Amino acid sequence: MTPTRKKRLAVVGLILLGVSAATAIALTALNDAMRFSIGPSEIVAGDFPEGRQLRLGGLVASGSVHRDTQSLAVNFRVTDCIHEIPVSFNGILPDLFREGQGVIAHGMLDESGMFQAHEVLARHDETYMPPEVERAMALAGGNLVCGEPIEDHLAAVEVAY
């Protein structure tokens, strides 16, 4: 390699190094702001005052969904398997909304500690499988539950299959 090319290669290396370092520092500083949602435990810990717009993320607690028969109003609790936050929402829920499903509610806490959501989004996990496999898994008692690591879940799939 000629000396000129060596020099140019060094410049290329320096550009990459400099940009990576600057980005790493910026992202570390922005770490909290980069999060799309926060969990129930953080709200319970009291880091977020009422009346501030938040996105609350977690699982819909089983047995907690109560739908109003007259309107679209619905109440449920969002859990991270440690703490639960009651959520009230009036609107159309996504098709994936069900108990045990990951959701993100956008809204704010009121004085009573109820989370008033104006939008509810469903999260889905990164697992894809045919319905028969899922049914077999449910029979084998392998339905994904709070706190169960995804590896156990997959092992159950394999057994059922």
Partner 1 sequence: MIWKTLKVGFHRLGSPPTFYRISALISPWLWAGFALCTAIGLYYALYVVPPDYQQSDSYRILFIHVPSAWQAMAGYLVMAILAAIALVWRIRTTEIMAMMCAPIGAAFTVICLLTGSLWGRPMWGTWWAWDARLTSMLVLLFIYLGIMGLYAAFEDRRKGARVACILVLVGVVNIPIIHFSVEWWTTLHQGSTIRFFGESTMHPSMMPPLVWMTVAVKLMFGAVLLDRSRNELLEQDRRKGWVRQAFGGDA
Q: Which is nearer to partner 1, 110 or 125 (CB)?
A: 125
Q: Which is nearer to partner 1, 109 or 121 (CB)?
A: 121
Q: Which is nearer to partner 1, 8 or 66 (CB)?
A: 8
Taking contact as CB under 8 A, which single stretch among the options 14-22, 67-75, 81-89, 109-117 is the one that binds partner 1? Answer: 14-22
Three-state DSSP at 17 gives: helix
Q: How many residues bind partner 1 (CB under 8 A)?
A: 47
27 binds partner 1 (CB under 8 A): yes
Instruction: Count Cβ atoms within 10 A of the Cβ of residue 80 and give its class: 0-12 exposed, 13-18 middle, 19 or more buried.
Output: buried
Position among 47, 99, 110, 132 found at the interface with partner 1 (CB under 8 A): 132
Torsional class of 98: left (φ above 0), alpha (ψ -120 to 50), beta (otherwise): beta
148 binds partner 1 (CB under 8 A): no
Position among 59, 79, 109, 121 found at the interface with partner 1 (CB under 8 A): 121
11 binds partner 1 (CB under 8 A): yes
Site string for partner 1, 58-77 (x = CB under 8 A): --------------------
130 binds partner 1 (CB under 8 A): yes
Three-state DSSP at 60 gives: strand
C-alpha 119 chain-centroid distance:
15
93 binds partner 1 (CB under 8 A): yes
